[in-house]
Structure 1
Amino acid sequence: MNTNNWSWETFFEAFPIVIQGLGITAGLTFACFLFSLIFGFFWVLVRQIPIGFIRGCIIWIMEFIRSTPPLVQLFFIFYAFPMIPGIGMTLSPFTSAVLGLGIHFSTYIGEVYRSGIESVDKGQWEAAKALNFSTGKRWTKIILPQALPPTIPMLGNYLIIMFKEIPLASTIGVVGILQLAKNYGAQHFNYLEALTIVAILFLVLSYPSALLINKLEKKMNRRFDKKAPSGSRPIPDNKGAVM
């Protein structure tokens, strides 16, 4: 086989092999993103602890996670975590990837949540408190419905970024499209066509998604530009009626 020139025969031979890993790649992306969406709330909650030392430790941990390469975190969870005395828990490559990438991106998503929550007018908090809402009802009825919609475009951007980072999971044995391309290249001593297929698949999936996110962001911006001034949104009473 000629390893120096492009071969369409090799391309069409490798394509059905590489694309078999698309389900794993896509599934891992959504699993990591779902985990990061849920765990992002954890960072928001623990940062509300009214003890300066604990809050400072949480902020430091988040900064440490953000400042450490996700590849190092994947290696630690998959290779080093089982060797910690008293734990000795061996995780599958897929689970390790979900934990590693999910926790890493959850620190960024937690900041997105926090910015959305802080954008809610203080009058909304005071009104909910004056109406004697419980903590749960205050968050579900007043704060989150106003805080989360503006964050949707940013969350969409992080989904696309995460999708591009998913190939890192191949380093710990997750058999996605990149790992299958590497396997094909090793077997046939030709990586050009197989890796080109990987690049095309990422482009075909991520570029339309980026356009959709940009369109959604513009739509959200127009929506909030037309909103009434901050603090004028009606507050539901304890029975759900609008005041």
Structure 2
Amino acid sequence: MFFEAFPIILKGIGVTIGLTFACYVFALVFGFVWTFLRRIQFKPIHWLVTWTMEFIRSTPPLVQLFFLFYAWPMIPGIGVTLAPIPCAIIGLGIHFSTYIGEVYRSGIEGVEQGQWEASRALNFSTRQKWTKIILPQAIPPTIPMLGNYLIIMFKEVPLASTIGVVGILAMAETYGANNFRYLEAYTIVAIIFLVLSYPSAILINKLETKLNRRFDKKAALQESKGAIIS
């Protein structure tokens, strides 16, 4: 029964992986929105954005999916009915964008003050400052953390089966219900997630180690130059 169930459940892997990357891209883009909104100095807006992010992070993503899919269409005047996949992309994308926005913020705050002053000294426009100086230095150190969130999102995407997205978990539930063989079905789902997640985690750890070595060498070089100049 195990080998009979495997190809049936595997049919949902394309939806699961595709939805993961769609949600992740949405979260990467929307994370910048949170980051730049939080940099607005006007206190009411800053407070509102911060509170909204905390509210989203403190609420289970399953509740947010249910709200968007079942409750949002019932709001008079503004409610819109969403199909399962767009609902999952928006719901999970916005949820994880709040975490990714914090990752971006930590990377931006890690850029040395001298780099900000250099952009002003060169009379760069706002776009040039961010695209040529700040972001190229802020984003690379955050890559390992962003990779970890991709793995976490991959393991959270099965929540979308609760609103009708037919991924591997939904295929397993259907197979189990039709054949009364839930043990094999859910074991296959667990194996699939292990096979895909574990190598990805190892790759991200190696990438993090490589980046840390690169930044350590760069810091050591800068310190040596400073010592020579002094």
* Shorter-chain TM-score tier: over 0.9
- Higher relative helix content: 2
Equivalent in 208, 214, 238 of residue 205 of structure 2: 214
Measured in 1, the distance between the counterparts of 2:221 and 2:101 equals: 23
Q: CA RMSD, aligned part only?
A: 1.2
Change (3 A) 1:133 1:230: farther
Residue equivalent to 2:25: 34
TM-score normalised over the length of structure 2 = 0.95
Q: Is the 8 A contact 1:123 1:231 kept in 2?
A: no
Residue equivalent to 1:135: 126
Equivalent in 155, 160, 175 of residue 184 of structure 1: 175
Deviation for aligned residue 1:50:
1.6
Residue equivalent to 1:235: none
Change (3 A) 1:230 1:105: farther
In the alignment, does 2:157 pair up with 1:166? yes
Residue equivalent to 2:191: 200
Residue equivalent to 1:50: 41
TM-score normalised over the length of structure 1 = 0.90
TM superposition outliers: structure 1 runs of 4+ over 3 Å: 228-232
Deviation for aligned residue 1:231:
8.0
Count of residues paired in the alignment: 223
Q: Is the 8 A contact 1:124 1:231 kept in 2?
A: no
Measured in 2, the distance between the counterparts of 1:137 and 1:229 equals: 28
Measured in 2, the distance between the counterparts of 1:38 and 1:210 equals: 23
Unpaired runs of at least 5, structure 2: 224-230
Residue equivalent to 1:85: 76
Measured in 2, the distance between the counterparts of 1:80 and 1:229 equals: 55
In the alignment, does 2:99 pair up with 1:108? yes
Residue equivalent to 1:236: none
Partner SS for 2:24? helix
Q: Is the 8 A contact 1:121 1:230 kept in 2?
A: no
The letter for the 2-side match of 1:63 is E
Measured in 1, the distance between the counterparts of 2:22 and 2:91 equals: 12
Measured in 1, the distance between the counterparts of 2:165 and 2:89 equals: 11
Deviations 1:176-198 (A, max 9, x none): 00000000000011101011110
Unpaired runs of at least 5, structure 1: 1-9, 233-243
Measured in 2, the distance between the counterparts of 1:126 and 1:65 equals: 35
Deviation for aligned residue 1:228:
3.7
Deviations 1:8-48 (A, max 9, x none): xx111111100000000000000000000000000011111
Change (3 A) 1:129 1:50: same
Measured in 2, the distance between the counterparts of 1:141 and 1:84 equals: 44
The letter for the 2-side match of 1:88 is G
Residue equivalent to 2:114: 123
In the alignment, does 2:25 pair up with 1:69? no
Deviations 1:42-88 (A, max 9, x none): 00111111211110010000000000000000000000111111123
Q: Is the 8 A contact 1:121 1:231 kept in 2?
A: no
Measured in 2, the distance between the counterparts of 1:11 and 1:228 equals: 53
**46-55 or 139-148, which deviates more:** 46-55
Aligned residues: percent identity? 73
